[in-house]
Amino acid sequence: MIDSAVTPLQTGASKNTEYGYLIGRVRVWESGLLNPRLLDQLLRADNADQAGRIVSEIPQLGEVLQNVAQNPPSIDQALMNHFWSLTEEISGHRLGAKVAEFFTLLFHFSQLKLLLKRHLAQKPLGSIPEGVLDWNRISRYISGEKEEYVPDLFRQAIDQAKLQYEKWNNIQAIELVIDRLFLSRVLKLSRETESSLLKNWFIVYVAFALLRGAFRIRLQQRSLDFSQLIYLANPMVREDDFKELISAPADKVVEKMADIGLSSVLPDQGVFQDDPYYLATMEKIMDNYLLSMLRPYQLNAFGPEPVFGFLFAKNIDIKNLRIVLHGKYFEMDERDLRDKVRECYYE
């Protein structure tokens, strides 16, 4: 009742203020995000111990890594658990579920790939973390029990992946098929979301993913037919463009990227090279770009954007922490690590 009385008086979407609760929680969690100063301190640390001490003083993160053995697998496990517990907290909220769906999908699809690959490699399917989904049923479906109850999305993914694997006799087909399904779900999220920022963000995400895919296909010298497995119609990268990005010579790629309007993600003033390190720099620029799209909305008091922005920023933070902590553990050069770390959400 109040809601409908208030609607005409509010600017923007009517449900915006309902994100208040989530944003209140997000604001507290945000004190555990990295900032450029902290990141710089971490990069300058002389060794893994010193880096560990710096992390232990960051709110929340310190607790997450408190009793964790100082080796990469345990640190990685702890960080991932931290991220998924935050995602689950947000998913638990009526509105948060939609906001966090992108990340849940990411998690579920990679879990699904792992199960499929383990099955095809004839390895034990192993223990699967408990969650919203009944992974045991999905494992049984993968092992060939066609009558098992499985959500439609996964049934589709598993069937298509198996089909294409048999057709191409190449395990990468599975990855491409499931990645395409994931991207199609992201586009669906883009159509469903009420926020115009997130709408664009999802579209840009899909476009970036397809570009990365196209350039990697060049690097791995795959056939055009095979690369079709990952392509899906989307608002930014048309099919012709995608094909041309794969088959055109390197100097033409730059023009093509300018046509699409994404030449800004190319490092080195847009001199394209088929070089893994060049592409790695491009990946970094893409991550930074995605984060910079979200940054202007970080201080909004309402709406889904700050919640989504926080989750994505956390995701990037986990990447940065992994780079720094693992890098220090393996005594890698500070400069190499600096080349890898992404920008921070808060400046």
Partner 1 sequence: MVDGLVFSLLGSALAVGLAGIGSAVGVGIAGETGAGVMTEDPNKFGQVILLQALPGTQGIYGLLAGFWVLIKLGLLGGTPVEVNVAQGMQIMVSCLPIAIVGLLSGIYQGKTSAACLGLIARRPGETGRAIILPAIVETYAVLALLATILLLNSIQV
Partner 2 sequence: MRLNVNPNRMELMKLKGRLAMAKRGHKLLKDKLEALIQDFVRIVRENKDLRREIEAEIIKAFQAQNKASLMLSEKDKELITVFPQQKLVVEVGTRHITGVQVPEFEVRIEGDPYTYSLINTPSEIDQAFGSFFQVLPRIIQLAEAEKTIELLAVEIEKTRRRVNALEYILIPSLEETIKYINLKLDELARSSIVGIMRIKGSLK
- How far apart are alpha carbons 288 and 221 in whole angstroms? 28
247 binds, among partner 1, partner 2, none (CB under 5 to 8 A by kind): none
Q: What is the distance between the alpha carbons of residues 299 and 295, in angstroms, rounded to a whole number?
A: 8
Between residues 23 and 341, which has the closer beta carbon with respect to partner 2?
341
Of 186, 195, 187, 190, the closest CA to residue 19 belongs to 195
In the set 25, 93, 118, 295, which binds partner 2 (CB under 8 A)? Answer: 118
CA distances from 44 to 36, 159, 334 (A): 12, 49, 7
Contacted entry of partner 2, partner 1, none for residue 326, CB cut-off 5 to 8 Å set by kind: partner 2
For the record, the structure tokens of 203 come out as 């579209």
The residues binding partner 1 (CB under 8 A) are: 2, 5-6, 9-10, 17-18, 20-31, 299, 301-302
Q: Strands, DSSP E only, in 105-252?
A: none
Name the minimum Å distance from CB 85 to partner 1.
13
Interface mask toward partner 2 for 277-306; x: CB under 8 A: x-xx--x-----------------------
What would the 3-class secondary structure string for 240-301 be? Answer: HHHHHHHHCCHHHHHHHHHHHCCHHHCHHHHCCCCCHHHHHHHHHHHHHHHHHHHHHHCCCC
Q: Contact with partner 2 (CB under 8 A): which of 340, 343, 344, 345?
A: 340
Q: Which range touches partner 2 (CB under 8 A), out of 23-31, 60-68, 114-122, 130-138?
A: 114-122
Q: Which does 179 bind (CB under 5 to 8 A by kind): partner 1, partner 2, none?
A: partner 2
Fill in the per-residue mask, 48 to 87: x = in contact with partner 2 (CB under 8 A), - = not in contact.
Answer: -------------------------x--xx--x-------
Task: Give SS3 for 130.
Answer: coil
Helix axes 196-220, 239-247, angle to 10 degrees: 30
Q: Residue 301 in contact with residue 319, Cβ under 8 Å?
A: no
Q: Is residue 120 close enough to count as binding partner 2 by CB under 8 A?
A: yes
Q: Which residues make up the interface to partner 2 (CB under 8 A)?
A: 73, 76-77, 80, 110, 113-114, 117-118, 120-121, 123, 170-172, 175-176, 179, 183, 209-210, 212-213, 215-217, 219-220, 230, 276-277, 279-280, 283, 319, 322-323, 326-327, 330, 332, 336-337, 340
